[in-house]
Structure 1
Amino acid sequence: MILFPAIDLKGGECVRLQRGEMDRATIYNADPAAQALAFAETGFSWLHMVDLDGAFAGESRNGAAVEAVLAAVGQSLQVQLGGGIRRQEQIEAWLEKGVARVILGTAALRDPALVREAAQRHPGRIAVGIDARGGRVAVEGWAETSDMEALDLARRFEDAGVAAIVYTDIDRDGVLAGINWEATIALAEAVAIPVVASGGLASMADIVRLTMPDARVLEGAISGRALYDGRIDARAALQLLGE
């Protein structure tokens, strides 16, 4: 079970949003590279990064901050990156720069052929980001909600060779409401692709919940605000999850 600390980038800073609303951002660190190093020193093996500005723009907006993180952590952290990556050349560029896994969200809905091609070119290095509001897929930085059900989108890539699905319940994201366990576990049980839970991890009780038998179907979970606020003890959480 992998615990992914999250760095969300807005204006070059490390922030957390509430329910994906850009005007409800809390700045946690003005130096994302320093924050990433702190996570590496704590003992995390992976880092989850999202270019929030890029998700709205459809192209990288915090590239310098991402590159600074990659340079700082070297091989000590594997980085998965999402946000505004919607073309093959963007995927190639980030993988060449050292990103371990690229997350495709809006592209997964709008351009599934791109996901399939990328997954075939780069086995184990392409993930699909499925962000759901009321069970339906949201795209363009969560600004638009489609008619596509989250499970239907996940099943679209069953045979594509993607490494993981990062599933976010938008209504739980950044508000410390707890993971939507029912929907997340149901998704993980319905598809063969490994699923990473995102949105709502709130306390050590949620870490304990991740150790329960039904949750072991998950590859891991992403934590943001609860780590920054100290509601989750990082070292204790890593020990509990056996990382």
Structure 2
Amino acid sequence: MGPVILFPAIDLKNGACVRLEQGDMARATVFNTDPAAQASRFEQQGFAYLHVVDLDGAFAGKPMNAAAVEAMRAAVKMPIQLGGGIRDLETVAAWLDKGISRVIIGTAAVREPALVKEAAKRFPGQVAVGLDARDGKVAVEGWAETSEVTALDIARRFEDAGVAAIVFTDIARDGLLKGLNLDATIALAEAISVPVIASGGLASLDDVRALLAPRAKKLAGAITGRALYDGRLDPAAAMALIRAANAAA
């Protein structure tokens, strides 16, 4: 496994940075109206990789916040992984062409696994799969509906497809600051060979420590959003823990 990465998250709605509670668009809090400035702040705080979600895109099924994403790309040097509304090869290619380092395919990974396999073959190391689970079952269409398949079922489909990572989100915890669901995430990571990134609920330095504990050694990292915005997670302290762990690895 490579170094553990802590990804600060920027969720875009109507061109602004927001946080949702449990994926509910009606429960959105605007944190910053200037996503590029927010991305720059994260880079200055020492983060090495940015996680961006086009929330409107996830619901619309096509990119809806392209201007904001392009402004962020121009504002920072760090790589960006982007999800939300990426449902076809043309969209994958267009984002990678604009300098996005990695695209995350969510709904289409459930509906059309062949698309992920083709994209991963064409763009090795640049395609990730986003699996968002509610009680173990995967939700799609911006979490508006829940499928009958489990995250593990879907993850296994891509076992040898060249997928760069699986971003596993526990919807029940997302935006609620209740702590990562490490048990489910580690179980997924141990069952497959694709690197797994934990998402949803990261609330404190204790969560970062848990991410770096020996039992979590199969995890590639975690995404943090709300805890950074409301000051519960001190970026300098979090990055110091990550750097120390990576140096010792």
Q: One fold, TM greater than 0.5?
A: yes
* Secondary structure, aligned partner of 2:190: helix
Partners of 1:241 and 1:190 in 2: CA distance = 24
Partners of 2:239 and 2:217 in 1: CA distance = 15
Q: 1:70 aligns with which of 63, 69, 73?
A: 73
| Structure 1: unaligned runs, 5 residues or longer | none
Q: Aligned pair 1:168/2:180, yes or no?
A: no
Give the alignment of 1:124-143 within 5 angstroms.
Answer: 124-143=125-144
Percent identical among aligned pairs is 66
Q: Aligned pair 1:20/2:2, yes or no?
A: no
Partners of 1:122 and 1:111 in 2: CA distance = 17
Give the alignment of 1:87-166 within 5 angstroms.
Answer: 87-166=88-167
Q: Deviations 1:90-136 (Å, cap 9, x if unpaired)?
A: 00000000000000000101111110010001110000000000100
Query: 1:31 offset after TM fit, Å?
Result: 0.2
Q: Deviations 1:17-50 (Å, cap 9, x if unpaired)?
A: 0000000001100000000000011111100000
Give the RMSD, CA atoms, in angstroms: 0.7
Q: Corresponding residue for 2:51? A: 48
Give the alignment of 1:211-226 within 5 angstroms.
Answer: 211-226=212-227
* Matching residue's letter, 2:110: L
Q: Which runs of 4+ in 1 moved over 2 A?
A: none
Partners of 2:236 and 2:219 in 1: CA distance = 20
Q: How many residues align?
A: 241
* Matching residue's letter, 1:45: A
Partners of 2:241 and 2:217 in 1: CA distance = 13
Partners of 2:37 and 2:136 in 1: CA distance = 36
Partners of 2:203 and 2:57 in 1: CA distance = 26
* Secondary structure, aligned partner of 1:128: strand
Partners of 1:234 and 1:188 in 2: CA distance = 26
Q: Corresponding residue for 1:196? A: 197
Q: Deviations 1:218-241 (Å, cap 9, x if unpaired)?
A: 000000000111111111111101
Q: Deviations 1:192-231 (Å, cap 9, x if unpaired)?
A: 0000000000011111111210112100000000011111
Partners of 2:173 and 2:139 in 1: CA distance = 14
| Structure 2: unaligned runs, 5 residues or longer | none
* Secondary structure, aligned partner of 1:167: strand
